[in-house]
């Protein structure tokens, strides 16, 4: 079943690249993933951090290098208002699908976790990717709000540091393609120095908030296999654009 699923995703990605999406008149630059470059991501190291874990960890760690501020190592995350499914389960499910498609396209992929029963702090997740030498990292999350009408997709990056420009370019490419693929509202790109996992990153890194689990309609979509496939295809197209990979 896994091979069938990946073959389907690869086929859908091909279709998305054949069909040149357009947004306000701007056309996606990719053609197709066949011919001379069947493995367009070969040689790239892509990190995926599925947010949270089965049990949060309220012990404190330093928010960023050189700071005295401390935050909880790992928050517990949110939960689907309609499905009742916790965030840590859904983000891992989507992340595994993303891993498989990226691998199929030639990338070397490292995930911070592939199970729920782990205890890895946000700082440790960033340091893991730094040491590995990732070309970029996607921190996969789902959002929550006290207002159940709030919905949409947002990208969060550091507001300071040497990687602001690269982080911004990656975030904008991801938001563009993931919203195109899914039809989700674009909440925007937000720059903040409050996320430990971003502050400790020495490589381009984006916290990807794929939607609001506290919005009933969006919660249902996020747990649909079809919608998850669209999220994955959008993420891959965003990565391709950011890396300026030639696909033929």
CATH number, domain with residue 116: 3.40.630.40
CB atoms closer than 10 angstroms to residue 219: 24
| Statement: residue 20 has pLDDT above 50 | no
Task: Indicate whether 48 pLDDT > 60.
Answer: yes
The structure tokens listed for 18 are 């054949």
175-191 tens-digit pLDDT: 999 999 999 999 999 99
Query: Would you say residue 22 has pLDDT above 60?
Result: no
- Give residue 248's pLDDT: 65
**Mean pLDDT over each residue of the chain, to the nearest integer:** 89
In three-state form (DSSP H/G/I as H, E/B as E, the rest C), the secondary structure along 95-134 is HHHHHHHHHHCCCEEEECCCCCCCCCCHHHHHHHHHHHCC
Per-residue pLDDT, 173: 98
Say what the pLDDT of residue 6 is: 54
- Sort 150 into a burial class: Cβ within 10 Å, 0-12 / 13-18 / 19+: middle
What's the pTM value of the predicted model, to 2 decimals?
A: 0.87
Mean pLDDT for the stretch of residues 65-79: 97
Q: Which domain holds residue 156?
A: 2-243
Domain membership flag for residue 248? no
Could you give the percent of the chain with pLDDT greater than 90? Answer: 83
User: CA 30: distance to chain centroid?
Assistant: 20
Reported as a pLDDT band with limits 50, 70 and 90, residue 38 is confident
Q: Which residue has the higher pLDDT, 38 or 215?
A: 215
Signed CA dihedral, 79, 81, 84, 89: sign only: negative
- Expressed in angstroms, the distance from the first to the final Cα of the chain is 29
Tell me what pLDDT residue 63 has: 98
**Per residue in 129-179, pLDDT tens?**
999 999 999 999 999 999 999 999 999 999 999 999 999 999 999 999 999
Q: For residue 34, name the pLDDT band (cuts at 50, 70, 90).
A: very low
Q: Which residues pair with 108 in a beta bridge?
A: 45
Compute the average pLDDT of residues 26-43.
Answer: 58
Kindly report, residue by residue over 206-239, the tens digit of the pLDDT.
999 999 999 999 999 999 999 999 999 999 999 9
What is the number of structural domains in the chain? 1
Decide the pairing of beta strands 136-143 and 205-212: parallel
Of 125, 137, 113, the closest CA to residue 46 belongs to 137
Q: Tokens for 216?
A: 């009933």
* Inside any domain, residue 75: yes
Q: Among 60-69, 226-235, 238-247, where is mean pLDDT lowest?
A: 238-247
In a 13 Å sphere around the CA of 35, the CA atoms on its Cβ side amount to 8
pLDDT of 33 reads: 44
49 belongs to a structural domain? yes
Distance, CA of 101 to CA of 96 (rounded, Å):
9
């Amino acid at each position: 079943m896994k091979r069938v699923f990946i073959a389907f995703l690869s086929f859908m990605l091909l279709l998305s690249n054949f069909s040149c999406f357009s947004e306000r008149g701007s056309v996606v630059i990719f053609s197709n993933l066949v011919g001379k470059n069947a493995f367009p991501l070969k040689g790239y190291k892509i990190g995926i951090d599925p947010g949270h874990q089965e049990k949060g960890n309220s012990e404190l760690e330093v928010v960023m290098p050189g700071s005295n501020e401390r935050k909880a190592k790992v928050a517990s995350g949110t939960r689907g208002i309609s499905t009742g499914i916790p965030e840590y389960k859904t983000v891992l499910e989507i992340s595994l699908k993303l891993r498989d498609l990226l691998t199929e396209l030639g990338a070397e992929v490292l995930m911070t976790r592939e199970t729920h029963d782990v205890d890895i702090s946000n700082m440790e997740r960033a340091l893991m990717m730094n040491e590995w030498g990732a070309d970029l990292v996607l921190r996969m999350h789902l959002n929550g709000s006290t207002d159940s009408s709030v919905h949409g997709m947002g990208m969060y990056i550091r507001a300071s540091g040497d990687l602001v420009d690269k982080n911004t370019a990656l975030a904008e490419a991801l938001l563009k393609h993931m919203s195109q693929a899914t039809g989700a509202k674009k909440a925007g790109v937000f720059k903040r120095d409050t996320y430990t996992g971003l502050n400790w990153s020495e490589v381009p890194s984006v916290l990807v908030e794929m939607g609001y689990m506290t919005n009933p309609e969006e919660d249902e979509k996020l747990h649909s296999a079809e919608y998850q496939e669209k999220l994955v295809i959008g993420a891959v197209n965003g990565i391709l654009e950011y890396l300026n990979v030639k696909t033929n």
